[in-house]
Amino acid sequence: TEVRDGACRPIVSKQCPIRGQLRDANGNCACPDGLEVRGKACQRPKPIQEQCTIRGQVHNKRGDCVCPRGTEIRDGACRKAQVECAPGAEFIDGQCQPVFTRRRCPVGTTGRYPDCTPIRRRPGVEINPGILLNPNVLQQLVPQRQPRRIIQDPSGANIQNFKP
């Protein structure tokens, strides 16, 4: 004890035992306004959470009612989400698994998938690589356009764009 204000008083430590507490006017340790003692410190009081109305919902960190991960609200309760698998996969044993179907080579190719090769057609005109061709001979093979002929109409008008 110690003598204070003309009387014996217990010795009071200047520091409060709980983190965040301060001494009030009477010398008592108390948390500041709006805070309360939780555990070993002054903290904001936990908000009172409302009861979730949908069966299976839980509170997230913000206090909102949500269905757990992997579930969704269906028929008034949290139920496992219906999974849609990508094309070529099916939902088996709780997960999407690839379905192996026998693949075929595309049209215009031959072989066994994936070793497909284009079907080579024989050319309609074969040229023997050992023969040297004169460019004039090649020119004769190319179809020539016929020039337009102007025909006189007996009435005296020119008729153009006439092809026999």
pLDDT at 46: 78
Residue 121 lies in a domain: no
pLDDT at 129: 62
> For residue 64, what are the domain limits?
47-104
Which two three-digit tokens encode residue 69? 């991960």
Q: How do residues 125-150 score in pLDDT, each as one tens digit?
A: 666 665 665 666 666 666 666 666 66
CA separation, residue 117 to residues 19, 42, 109 (Å): 78, 77, 5
Q: How do residues 49-88 score in pLDDT, each as one tens digit?
A: 778 999 999 999 888 899 999 889 989 999 988 778 888 8
d(CA 117, CA 76): 56
Name 50's Cβ contacts closer than 8 Å, sequence gap at least 6: 65
Cis bond upstream, residue 114 (ω within 30): yes
d(CA 14, CA 82): 62
> Same domain, yes or no, for 33 and 56?
no
pLDDT at 102: 73
Residue 83 lies in a domain: yes
Residue 116 lies in a domain: no
